[in-house]
Amino acid sequence: MLLGFSSRYEKVYQGSVLDLIAETVKEALDMAKLEPKDIDGIITSWLPWIFDSTLAIGFPENYISEYIGIRPKFTDLVQYGGASAVEMFYRAYKAVKSGEADRVLCIIGGKGTLMKKQLREGGLERLSEVELLNILRNNPFDEFIRVYQDMDPISFYAMVAARHSKLYGTTDEQRALLAVQQRYNANSNERALFRGPLTVKDVINSRVVSTPLHLLEITYPIDGVLAFIVGKGISQLRSMDVISYGDAVWPEFFAERDVDIVYTPTIESAKKIDFNLNKIDAFEIYDAFTIMVLTELEDLGLTEKGKIGKFIEENDLTIKGNIPVNTGGGSLNMGQPAYMSGIIILEEAFLQFNDMAKGHQVNGADYILVNGLGGWNTHATTLVIGEKR
């Protein structure tokens, strides 16, 4: 089902995002031994600024198809934030299964570093958040939200962490321990941006960005693209199938949720998963912030709500441990391409399943759970991949 994939990640990519896409697509097609003419479906994602600082692009699926010479009979545009890549994989899988397309090319990513640059240094920096309303809106009530100062989206996840601590006694050290365990995995990954020894004390001593979250609990935005092809036929890659799938969308503004903010939509997407979690060999969990991983693991059902702090202390979540989580170090150590995409977790699942993860390979990675989480706990996509027997 997965015929080929390739990615490029850079701290700051100097060229056009179309160069980045073209190179990545070429490598993915080469791995699949395909040419542009063999592709009949395309799925992409798009976020403001990630395409060479363009604030908006009309018809992004066409924009990319046009540049790389694809003539699709099936297109889709997925905007699930941090769950986008995972959702895209599933939609491509469904399109192929239903016969809408034979070979679907998925392209996700861009230049995540440009958002900050444009907002802080570019022409938009003189505009206040309120003035930006006329250019880019996120929800129908922006006038009543953007008048306040925050560090969106860090503020939201910081409030989740603060409330988790208040309700359940979760400590800064317990969240830090997750970051430390992920760094252990990153130290065996030659592509990780951040490597080197890291202790709980180091995380606690790093600057507090938004209470209670520290700098080393927050992912770093980078530039990068992942291209992958889902389709019929065989390839040099191991035969991969979707074993189980679930998704959930919570569109409401977080001040209007019926559920406590310590819950993520994973509580709903995970309910649709029909697979014994004890049989999962590696968990790839979206990690823009430490608290996201903690709440996702709870909502997946690895432990009860509120007990994740103790769970992290009592289990080894590294690649040498009993429950390997974010086996390549996750976005916390790889960086976050296109500021929310879920690229890192999906590619790591591809690598693990194909025994291509080199130094950070988990033995016998036959079943991998990937959990994407997007927006302000807005989208969740849970996927178990493996080989159907």
Partner 1 sequence: MSLNEIIQTYYEYFNKEKLPYIKCTNCGYVFYYPRAICPKCLSKKLSIMESKGEGEIYSETKFVNEKGQVTIVGLIRLEEGFMIYANILTNRLEDVSINKKVKVEFKEVIKGQKFPFFTTIS
List residues binding partner 1 (CB under 8 A).
130, 140-141, 143-145, 147-151, 154-155, 158-160, 162-163, 166, 209-213, 252-256, 261
Most distant CA atoms of the chain, gap in Å: 59
Q: Crossing angle for the helix pair 17-32 and 60-68, nearest 10 degrees? A: 70
Q: Between 156 and 339, name the residue whose CB sits nearer to partner 1.
A: 156
Q: Is 26 exposed, middle or buried (0-12, 13-18, 19+ CB in 10 A)?
A: middle
Whether a cis peptide bond, with omega within 30° of 0, leads into 197 is: no
Closest CA to 16 of 59, 63, 61: 63
- Residues with Cβ within 8 Å of residue 236, at least 6 apart in sequence: 31, 33
Nearer to partner 1, 23 or 150 (CB): 150
Closest by Cα among 388, 340, 369 to 152: 340
When the beta carbons of 125 and 314 are compared against partner 1, the nearer one is 125
| Least CB distance to partner 1 at residue 166 (A) | 4
On whether the CB atoms of residues 264 and 380 are closer than 8 A, the answer is yes
Q: Which is nearer to partner 1, 39 or 288 (CB)?
A: 288
Whole-angstrom distance, CA of residue 20 vs CA of residue 5: 14
Cα 127–chain centre separation? 30
> At a CB cut-off of 8 Å and minimum separation 6, what does 198 contact?
179, 180, 183, 216
What minimum distance in Å lies between the beta carbon of 18 and partner 1? 33
Cβ nearer to partner 1, comparing 166 with 279: 166
* Smallest distance from partner 1 to CB 69, Å: 45
Residue 379 CB, nearest distance to partner 1 (Å)? 19
Q: How far is the CB of 219 from partner 1 (least distance, A)?
A: 17
- The nearer residue to partner 1, 209 or 277, going by C-beta atoms, is 209
| Smallest separation, CB 200 to partner 1 (Å) | 21
DSSP letters spanning 152-190: TTHHHHHHHHHHHHHHH---HHHHHHHHHHHHHHHTT-T
Q: Which residue, 15 or 251, has its beta carbon nearer to partner 1?
A: 251
Q: Hey, what are 113's tokens?
A: 């570093």
Match 């074993």 to its residue by tokens.
243
Q: How far apart are CA 19 and CA 22, in angstroms?
A: 5
Bridge partner residues of 107 (DSSP): 44, 227
**Cβ of residue 21: shortest distance to partner 1, in angstroms?**
34
For residue 102 the two structure tokens come to 């034979």
Q: Which is nearer to partner 1, 198 or 262 (CB)?
A: 262
CB of 159 to partner 1, least distance (A): 4
